[in-house]
């Protein structure tokens, strides 16, 4: 990752949750069963290393 971003997350199978600000250079690792969002604080460049097939079993849509 390049730039700065805020990562919000929570465990969909438990009570754990958090928010962290990440600044480049950084590697962000998201654990299985974690809903997450990345909010750009500056212009950012990110590379997603999982394909659609890799994430099909743990992709979540959270209703507001």
Closest CA to 58 of 23, 33, 39, 30: 33
DSSP 58: G
- State residue 53's pLDDT score: 73
- Cβ atoms of 33 and 12 closer than 8 Å: yes
pTM of the prediction?
0.75
pLDDT tens over the chain, length 64 residues: 789 999 999 998 899 999 999 999 988 888 888 889 999 999 999 887 777 676 666 666 677 6
Helices (H) and strands (E) counted in the chain, each on its own, are 1, 3
User: What residues does each domain of the chain span?
Assistant: 4-58
- Cβ atoms of 5 and 44 closer than 8 Å: yes
């Amino acid at each position: 990752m390049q730039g700065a971003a805020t990562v919000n997350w929570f465990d969909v199978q438990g009570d754990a949750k958090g928010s962290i600000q990440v600044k480049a250079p950084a590697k962000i690792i998201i654990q299985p069963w974690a809903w997450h969002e990345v909010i750009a604080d500056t212009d950012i460049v990110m590379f997603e290393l999982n394909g659609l097939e890799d994430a099909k079993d743990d992709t979540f849509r959270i209703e507001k």
